[in-house]
Chain A
Amino acid sequence: MISILTVCGNGIGSSLMLKMKIEEICAENNIEAQVESIDFNAAQGRKADLIVTVKELAEQFEGKEVAIVRSYINKKKIKEDILERLQQIAK
């Protein structure tokens, strides 16, 4: 089981959409994952196997495992951006 945090400014909109898409992607690829959406400030103190967010917010997570997605809602783009990384971490 891998842990993933999806991050946006508020934790209830964009990041929640991203969480739903990542859960779908994980299910389709037999990756066991616990995905939680969280706001930017709360994410700072949290540990996870992977933090997923957009470019604008990613710089703030220096030193952590961060994956950048080009879109919060386009499943195809999200898959292209992070599936390989998810599979590596899940090994």
Chain B
Amino acid sequence: MLQDLLSEDNVSFHYPAETWEDVIRHGGQLMVDAGFTDPTYIEAMVEVVREMGPYIVLAPGLAMPHARPEMGVKQVGTALVTLEKPVDFGSPENDPVSVALFLCAPNKDEHIQLLTDIATLFEDEEFLDAAANFESIEDVQEFLSEHLEDA
């Protein structure tokens, strides 16, 4: 499902972010432009980290910014942002973050396959290094087709 939702419009490579908030706003805007969410969702994702901490950093170097369905989600969606240089999110175990794979879902059910794909990637020992070298959507799709079971 991840490969179906990613296109050249919602991926961004070597983004020069200074702070974790830059990262979230950049990826959030990609999701708004792709028609996945309203702009309110960007603010909601930032608030999640402010209020609950950096638990969205799920594995070393890897974050999955997201917020609640009712915060302006139109459909299941995602966006991929790789960073020019790693940024701290405040996670003692998993900082600094080099890759953010965003998530939005309108309910608790429709995005199960997407979540499974993201978990698979985040557990894949090759993903972090591979993502640092992504230069195009073709690079991303090639990696996904080799590393995701449902590809």
* Chain A interface residues toward B at CB < 8 A: 8-14, 16-17, 20-21, 37, 39-40, 54, 56-57, 70-75
Say which residue of B59, B103, B107, B116 sits within 8 Å of A13 (CB atoms). Answer: B103
Known contacts A16-B108, A37-B108, A74-B123, A9 near B115 by CB under 8 Å = no
CB-CB under 8 A from B59, the residues of chain A are: 71, 73-74
Contact check: which of B53, B108, B123 meets A12 at CB < 8 Å? B108
B111 at the interface (CB under 8 A from A): yes
Contact A13 B115 (CB under 8 A): yes
Q: Tell whether, in the assembled complex, residue A72 and residue B58 are in contact, meaning their CB atoms are under 8 Å apart.
A: yes
| B115 adjacent to A17 (CB under 8 Å) | yes
Chain A contact residues: helix, strand, loop or mixed: mixed
CB atoms of B55 and A56 under 8 A apart: yes
Contact between B123 and A10 (Cβ–Cβ < 8 Å)? no
Instruction: Please pick, from B66, B119, B122, the residue contacting A10 in the complex, using a CB distance under 8 A.
Output: B66
- A14 smallest CB distance to B (angstroms): 6
Q: Are B119 and A13 in contact (CB under 8 A)?
A: no
Tell whether, in the assembled complex, residue A9 and residue B69 are in contact, meaning their CB atoms are under 8 Å apart.
no
The residues of B that contact A9 with a CB separation of less than 8 Å are 48, 51-52, 55-56
A54 and chain B: residue at smallest CB distance: B55
B117 CB → nearest A CB, Å: 11
- With A and B bound together, what is the CA distance between A56 and B116 in angstroms? 24
Q: Which residue from chain A places its CB closest to the CB of B65 in the assembled complex?
A: A13
